[in-house]
Amino acid sequence: MIPQEETQDALSVSELSFRLKGLVETQFSHVFVRGEISGAKAHSSGHLYFALKDAQSVLDCVCWRGTLSRQDIAPQDGMEVLIHGKLTTYPGRSKYQLVVESLSLSGEGTLLKLLEERRRRLAAEGLFDESRKRPLPLLPQTIGLITSPTGAVIQDILHRLEDRCPRNVLVWGVAVQGERAVPDIIRALEGFNAQDFPLPRPDVLIVARGGGSLEDLWAFNDEDLVRAVAASRIPVISGVGHEPDVTLIDYVADWRAPTPTAAAERVVPVKRDLLGALDVHMKRLEAGLARLTRETEQRFDERAERFLRLGPATLERLETTLTQLGKRLKRPEDILAQSELRLEGQGVRLGHAALRLLSDRGARLEALSGLLASYSYTHVLARGFSITRDASGRVIKSAAKATPGMNVTLTFHDGTKDAVIAGRAPKKAKALKEPSSAQQSLF
């Protein structure tokens, strides 16, 4: 049992917790800690929570939203970092954590390992294949430049373009280092590629910044930025850093320039060189046309000379041929006379044939006329026959039709006579009288 006098100075849980909090924050208000980021998680409030670990221990860390926005790098799992901050406790959970005030990469070997792992993974997806890279235009009308709006890089590029071959340049200012760099550059790439882009669309894009350490150029190794470059429908030139510097967008870009100035030199030819090459081609074309013309004229001269040499002999042969043909031809008068003779002979033959035909047709017609006449009823009347017609002109063909007292007309071969049919008219039968009703019946 604890003696009562010893419990008079007992502390409550809260008192002890806040004493520990004051002690910790006083003793560890300014510390530098090196370790590897693990379990990084961005809260909806904008704060970032993660653990900093080494081979034996783990330290919880928090980076408030305002502090995070001022950092040059975006903390990611696997990064080895050096953190400056202060240690504090969380009495409600009896925990302590490191509040980050600044953060920088530590250990280039770790970064290079992380970079190589990311490069292999993206390469396995085919994002770096040469087959997907597009050719750059020979002489772009408009160039889109994505870089910092301040500093020497933009001036170097614009002056280089002006010296070589002036072109239209659209500058999209972005942050090229720090937390804003990746979203700014992605926004610029998507903006230039947007369907509703309000200005003349660039024929080629340049993403550029000056040299720096691996940490300074880390934004150009971001996976989201690499995919945005790959998705661009406009060819992209990467001009980041100096000759030894290599970033992941160098692998995915359609052409990698070792420096921003080299990007400007690659995107346009030298105007003087272009005009000189054009002049050389024009001279070659003129020389070719002149050579072709001379060859044509020479062939014409050779053929003309050959024709002149062969001319007399050819004309003599033609003259002989024409003479022979002329002998074989007949005079028009002779041709007309022969034609008239042929026509006369044909006319005589046609005349005789026509006469014979008319004679034959006349004899046949006469025979048919005689035959027709022999069948005529007038010849029958001439042999003693006559035709009997009643008063209406109808022929009476039967004796039964000729009743006594009928007026008729008799037609003979030489005329007609009126006649009356002789004989008694038949008596009419008397009507029988009906028996008188007064006569009595015998029955």
Fold for the domain defined by 140-268: Rossmann fold (3.40.50)
pLDDT attached to residue 111: 74
**Please, which residues have CB within 8 angstroms of residue 148's CB and are 6 or more apart in sequence?**
154, 173, 174, 175, 176, 209
CATH of range 14-106; options 2.40.50.140, 1.10.1200.10, 1.20.1560.10, 1.10.490.10 = 2.40.50.140
* Predicted pLDDT at 222: 92
Split the chain (443 residues) into runs of 10 and give each run's mean pLDDT.
Answer: 63 81 83 90 92 91 90 80 88 83 77 84 93 92 93 90 90 91 95 93 94 87 94 95 88 94 90 75 82 79 70 71 75 74 75 78 80 71 82 86 87 86 64 49 39
Residue 353: its pLDDT value, please?
A: 77
**In this predicted structure, what is the pLDDT of residue 93?**
73
